A = this chain, B = another copy of it.
Amino acid sequence: MAARQQIVRLGIIGCGIAANELHWPALSQLRDRFDVAMVCNRTREKAVSFATRIGDAYGKNVPYVLDYLELLATPNIDAVSIMLPVERNLEVCAAAAAAGKHMMLEKPIAKDMAEAREVLGLEAKHPGLVMMVAENFRYRQVFAELADSLRKDAIGTPYFVEWKSWQLIDPASNPYAQTPWRINHRYEGGFVTDAGVHYVAALRDMLGDLSTVGACSACVNPAIGRMDSLAWLFRTTGKDAIPPLSGILTIGFSVHGSASSSLTILGSRGSAVVENATLRIYADDADNPVSVADYPDGGGYVEEYVDFHQAITTGQKPTSTLDEASKDLDAILHAIEMGQHSNPTLR
């Protein structure tokens, strides 16, 4: 008989897109681990709507507040999820730490490295608290399986990685493009950082740290930010049995008609390609992979909450530490900084 899980009483700070689209769908599957005890949003309508949605699912009343300090002052809350515009992470983390709450905060860890270091400082000052970043790519099974394939010599010695993320964001219809803090860049890179930090996390987990060889960026559509396109050439340090390799990450949010999203790793005897949750291993025949496997992990959101719960209840370190998240941000910000030396604004 499985031991009964300790239920963590969770407060949610920020009832926007991330809370509604990403976190609640995961939390709603984890009622044996989490009870959403209170939500907070400074816009009453969003707070009410989210509290009602959760309450309906739970079949009970879920209270809401408009001031996150009020939520943090509530004694019967063990932990909080902070899903606010990133430039507010430091301020709210500091308050949550002072209130003695465990916390998961949305990526990237902070708006810049100075603030990321302050968040790390909070963790050092409060060693009894679990502090982690909601970096779901750290929990996606397809990347773990890819790394495992590389270590098991599925493609020979890997030497090159290409990650291509080309899409078109329509500011009129994309909800993320309607959040002013993204467009007006409360942190460097805007959308490019938003997405880039995910790719960096997956790359670093699989292949080791990244050092920038060169980068170029552009602003194609100013309506979605001061930067919407990045080409980044890097070297990895290598990790476990995987040697250092060269790589290119291209991120484009204003790509018309050539949308593409794939991660390809070339090896001395084969290649590995990830598209969505599918991993294909090729030998010589591009039309017929030697293996195809699907790892529909739902994006890793459930797994990150399971990890959060485990860290809280066992004291074990979570996978998505602040330290890793801080290194992810540092890498993408460095690429962006290098890229801006050649940053033309179009139109």
Are A244's CB and B214's CB within 8 A? no
What 1/0 mask marks residues of chain A from 252 to 272 whose CB sits below 8 Å from any chain B CB?
101111110000101111110
Stretch at the interface among A49-57, A90-98, A282-290: A282-290
Q: Is A124 an interface residue (CB 8 A)?
A: no
- A-side interface residues, number (CB < 8 Å): 53
Q: Closest approach, in angstroms, between the C-beta of A174 and any C-beta of chain B?
A: 14
Are B254's CB and A346's CB within 8 A? no
Q: Is A10 an interface residue (CB 8 A)?
A: no
Q: Closest approach, in angstroms, between the C-beta of A285 and any C-beta of chain B?
A: 6
Q: Is A159 an interface residue (CB 8 A)?
A: yes
Known: A220-B268, A268-B346. A257 touches B235 (CB 8 A): no
Known: A229-B159, A342-B246, A346-B268. A273 touches B256 (CB 8 A): no
Q: Is A344 an interface residue (CB 8 A)?
A: yes
- CB neighbours of A221 from chain B (8 A): 268
Are B346's CB and A157's CB within 8 A? yes
A sample of 6 inter-chain contacts (CB < 8 A) reads A231-B248, A233-B233, A233-B248, A256-B266, A256-B268, A257-B289
- CB neighbours of A197 from chain B (8 A): none
Q: Is A78 an interface residue (CB 8 A)?
A: no
Query: Which residue of B160, B255, B284 is within 8 Å of A257 (Cβ)?
Result: B284
Are B267's CB and A235's CB within 8 A? no
Q: Is A4 an interface residue (CB 8 A)?
A: no
Are A344's CB and B244's CB within 8 A? yes
- Per the bound structure, the CA–CA distance linking A211 and B161 in Å amounts to 23
Q: Closest approach, in angstroms, between the C-beta of A299 and any C-beta of chain B?
A: 23
- CB neighbours of A286 from chain B (8 A): 257-259
Known: A244-B344, A347-B268. A233 touches B215 (CB 8 A): yes
- CB neighbours of A269 from chain B (8 A): 256
Closest 7 CB pairs of A and B: A214-B214, A257-B282, A216-B246, A213-B214, A258-B271, A233-B233, A214-B233
Chain B minimum-CB-distance residue to A252: B266
Known: A220-B159, A248-B231, A271-B256. A243 touches B344 (CB 8 A): yes
Q: Is A168 an interface residue (CB 8 A)?
A: yes
Q: Is A218 an interface residue (CB 8 A)?
A: yes
Query: Which residue of B216, B245, B252 is within 8 Å of A233 (Cβ)?
Result: B216
Known: A248-B250, A259-B286, A268-B221. A346 touches B216 (CB 8 A): no
Known: A159-B220, A160-B252, A246-B231. A283 touches B267 (CB 8 A): no
- CB neighbours of A217 from chain B (8 A): 246
- CB neighbours of A252 from chain B (8 A): 160, 266
- Per the bound structure, the CA–CA distance linking A168 and B285 in Å amounts to 10
Q: In the complex, which of the residues A220, A235, A282 has the most CB atoms of chain B within 10 Å of its own CB atom?
A: A220
- Per the bound structure, the CA–CA distance linking A255 and B159 in Å amounts to 10
Q: Closest approach, in angstroms, between the C-beta of A246 and any C-beta of chain B?
A: 3
